[in-house]
């Protein structure tokens, strides 16, 4: 749905493809990159967007925050309306019989590194120099990447699977992400690659993939141990479902669904842990994560096993905490209508 400024009117429900978008009162529109002010005629009610103070921790080893505080990743979704297809989306992801599954934590020797997606921080002042050949070149950012033999690969250098590489350049605060990352005899290869400025809310071009199927960055949706230790996780968490609708909703940019049945969630669908879910029986560290799930929710970012959520590959993750998260029922979640957050379809900035 394209947001249009309409003075003193309620925008009636519309349908985008096969997905129903709930009615929303549109009060303002803004540019993609700078949501600090909005323009409207004098007869319209105007919602002025004030600058938001940073709330996220800086990424360890850098002076970079993972996207501006105004980013949709940091948005409070606790009061958003329940999506009209919430019950159907839950049913088609087997939420009634499935618990959360942290796709990170100790490997117990099953692989050489802990489960999860590792982050490589590069501090060199030199410009990235690795040329990468891409399988999906038309939807990849064809620039030089800061890849080297020191780059951490998901699962280890000899792993199968997705083989994500997440690299942050500490000097420029640029984020480089690749999927199916390999150093071959003829140089670097990846299935796809994407680059973001961590200081910007700019999204990828509409229809483009990234290192995941939703066209979203992976880094901002990863649970990190340093955040949990600090007592606050201030962003949404990425997770996978087995089957998705062949569409995407903002801020996702790419579809990878296998069905046109709208009772399956699209890429970018956002879910939150219900306010009524009792977290009192969980440890303080687990409660940090569960509070984030209530406030910021989780985002469908890729196809995979139902209700698998992602975190960093880190030897410090306690097995007890992982076990606690496995006790959280998917039925404790509900899908929300995130349309009221959107300022521009081409920006990740969100109404607060």
Q: Are 130 and 144 in contact (CB under 8 A)?
A: yes
Structure tokens at 332: 């404790």
- The pLDDT assigned to 37 comes to 31
Task: For 144, list phi and psi in degrees, rounded to 5.
Answer: -80, 140
Task: Tell me which residue has tokens 């990424």.
Answer: 59
pTM of the model: 0.85
- pLDDT for res 125: 87
pLDDT along the chain (352 residues), means of 10: 31 34 33 34 38 75 96 97 98 98 96 97 93 97 97 96 97 97 97 98 97 97 97 97 97 95 98 98 98 98 97 98 98 98 96 88
Q: What is the pLDDT of residue 56?
A: 73
Beta bridge partners of 298: 237, 271
Residue 257 in any domain: the answer is: yes
10 within some domain? no
Number of domains in the chain: 1
- The residue segments making up the domain with residue 172 are 86-341
Query: Does 23 map to a domain?
Result: no
Q: Kindly state whether residue 73 falls inside one of the protein's structural domains.
A: no
Contact 241, 307 (CB under 8 A): yes
Is residue 16 in some structural domain? no
Q: Residue 346 domain-assigned?
A: no
Q: What is the pLDDT of residue 1?
A: 35
Q: Say if 136 falls within a structural domain.
A: yes
* CA-CA-CA-CA dihedral for 304, 251, 231, 325, to nearest 10: -20
Dist. CA 162–CA 165, nearest whole Å:
9
pLDDT for residue 352: 82
Q: What pLDDT shows up at residue 47?
A: 41
- pLDDT for the residue numbered 223: 98
Residue 178 and residue 145: Cα distance in Å, rounded? 9
36, part of any domain: no
- Using CA atoms, how far residue 220 sits from 90, 116, 269, in Å, is 24, 14, 16
């Amino acid at each position: 749905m394209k947001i249009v400024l309409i003075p003193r009117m309620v925008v009636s429900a519309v349908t985008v493809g096969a997905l129903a978008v709930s009615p929303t009162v549109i009060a303002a529109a803004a540019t993609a990159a700078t949501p600090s002010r909005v323009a409207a005629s004098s007869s319209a009610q105007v919602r002025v967007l004030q600058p938001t103070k940073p709330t996220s921790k800086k990424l360890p080893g850098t002076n970079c925050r993972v996207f501006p505080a105004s980013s949709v990743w940091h948005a409070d979704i606790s009061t958003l309306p329940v999506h009209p297809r919430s019950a159907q989306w839950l049913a088609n992801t087997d939420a009634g019989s499935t618990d959360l599954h942290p796709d990170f934590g100790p490997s117990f020797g099953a692989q050489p590194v802990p489960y999860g997606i590792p982050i490589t921080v590069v501090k060199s002042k030199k410009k990235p120099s690795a040329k990468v050949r891409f399988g999906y070149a038309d939807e990849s950012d064809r620039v030089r990447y800061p890849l080297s033999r020191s780059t951490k690969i998901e699962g280890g250098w000899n792993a199968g699977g997705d083989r994500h590489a997440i690299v942050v350049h500490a000097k420029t605060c640029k984020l480089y992400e690749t999927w199916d990352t390999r150093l071959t005899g003829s140089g670097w290869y990846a299935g796809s690659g994407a680059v973001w400025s961590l200081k910007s809310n700019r999204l990828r071009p509409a229809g483009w993939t990234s290192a995941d199927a939703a066209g979203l960055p992976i880094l901002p949706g990863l649970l990190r141990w340093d955040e949990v230790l600090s007592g606050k996780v201030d962003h949404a968490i990425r997770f996978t479902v087995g089957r998705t609708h062949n569409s995407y909703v903002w801020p996702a940019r790419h579809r990878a669904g296998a069905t046109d049945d709208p009772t399956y969630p699209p890429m970018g669908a956002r879910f939150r842990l219900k306010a009524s879910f009792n977290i009192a029986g969980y440890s303080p560290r687990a409660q940090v994560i569960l509070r984030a799930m209530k406030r910021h929710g989780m985002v469908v970012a890729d196809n995979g096993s139902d209700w698998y959520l992602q975190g960093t590959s880190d030897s410090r993750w306690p097995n007890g905490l992982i076990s606690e998260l496995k006790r959280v029922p998917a039925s404790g979640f509900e899908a929300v209508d995130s349309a009221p957050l959107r300022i521009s379809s081409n920006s990740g900035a969100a109404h607060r």
